[in-house]
Amino acid sequence: MAPTKKILRALAGEVLDTPPIWMMRQAGRYLPEYRATRAEAGDFLSLCYNSDLAAEVTLQPIRRYGFDAAILFADILLVPQALGADLWFVTGEGPRLSTITEQADFDKLKPATDIHDTLNPIYETVRILSRELPSETTLIGFAGAPWTVATYMIAGRGTPDQGPAHALREENTVLFEALMDRITEATIDYLSMQIEAGAEVVKIFDSWAGSLKGEAFTKYALEPCRIITEALKARHPDIPVIGFPREAGPAYEGFAKATGVDCVALDNSVDPLWAAAHMQKDGCVQGNLASSHMVTGGQALIDDARKIVSAFSKGPHIFNLGHGITPDADPENVQLMIDTVREKSVVA
C-alpha cells in the first residue's frame, strides 16, 4: 500500500507540490512550554527517562506548529550510558562522560544486547507518541551515528575538532574499532526497538562526520551507516532511514546509494542547486535552511526558504534546517518559516 503521510510519501520518492516540514531539535529550549516541562522533570536526563514528560515535550511543537513529523525526545548519549558509561550534564556546558581511552575502560562496557533495561523508558515514550500523535503526523526515531557517539565516549565531552577520537583511531586502531563495533551493534538494536514500539522512520545523526576525511570518512562514517541501515531493513523492510553525515561536503554525493538510506539530510553549507543536481537523482533530500534564520527572521528567512523550496522542487524533498534550532531562536520565526514553505500569507 502506498504511504499517505506526507513525509513517508517524500521518503518513498514522491515529488510533492509542497514539501513536508519538520525541524531538528523542534522540541527544545526555544519553547517556553518546553522549559516549563523540563523544570517539572528536574534535569535533562530525568526528562529523557520520564516517558510521560518526554512524550509531552515531543508533542508540544506539533500542537503549536503542526509539523508533518514529530521526532522522539531523547539524546544520542543515552546509548553510551546504557552500555555502562557514566553520563551527567553540566549546566551551561553540556554533557560529560567517563572516558574510553584504554582497553580496561572498554572492558567495563556492557554487551550491546544488554542496553534495553536502561532504555525501556525511551521505548515507552515511543509507544505513547504512536498513540497520541495526530493521524497525519509521522513519528521519527533516532540515534547518534557510531563515530559521533564514539567522539564523546573517548573525550568525555564535546570537543571542537574531535581530536581525542582521531588520536585514538590512529594510535590504537584495534581499541577504536572495537568501540565503534560495540556502538554499531547497540545502535541497531536500539533503533530496532524504537521501530517495534511505533517509530515510522529512523534517523542516524552523524554530527561530527565532517571531521573525517577521505578513507577515514568511508570507513568510519559511511560504512557504519551502511551496516546499520542494512540490518534495520533486514528486520523492518518498510521503515525508511534518514542519514545525516553533517559537513560531509563533496562526500554527500553518492552517500544514499552507498549506504542504502532513503534520504540524506544536508547541513546549510551545501548549495541546494548543487544538491538537487547531484543528490536528488538518488532519492529524497532533507534540509537545509540555516538555523540562524530562526534567530534573526525577516525577509532573509523568507528569501532563503523560498530558494531552497524552489531548488528542490523537481525531486523528493523534506524541508528542514541544516542543523538543530538553537535556544535563542524566536518561536515567531519558526511560524514564519512554516508559512513561507506552505505559502500561507507571507509578504514578499
Catalytic sites, residue numbers:
25, 29, 38, 75, 152
The answer to whether 156 and 89 have CB atoms below 8 angstroms apart is no
Run of H or E including 177 = helix 173-197
Pairing of strands 94-97, 87-90: antiparallel
Kindly tell me the sign of the dihedral angle through the C-alpha atoms of 328, 6, 144, 141: positive
Residue 32, number of CB atoms within 10 A of its CB: 10
Place of cell 506552505: 342
Q: Kindly list the distances between the CA atom of residue 57 and the CA atoms of 53, 125, 338, in Å, as whole numbers in the listed order.
A: 6, 11, 19
In angstroms, the CA 138 to CA 68 distance is: 6
Rg (CA), the chain: 19
Question: 3-state SS of the chain: helix, strand, coil percent to 5?
Answer: 55, 15, 35
Residue whose C-alpha is closest to residue 136's, from 66, 214, 37, 86: 66
Say what angle helices 146-155 and 163-171 make with each other, to 10 degrees. Answer: 100
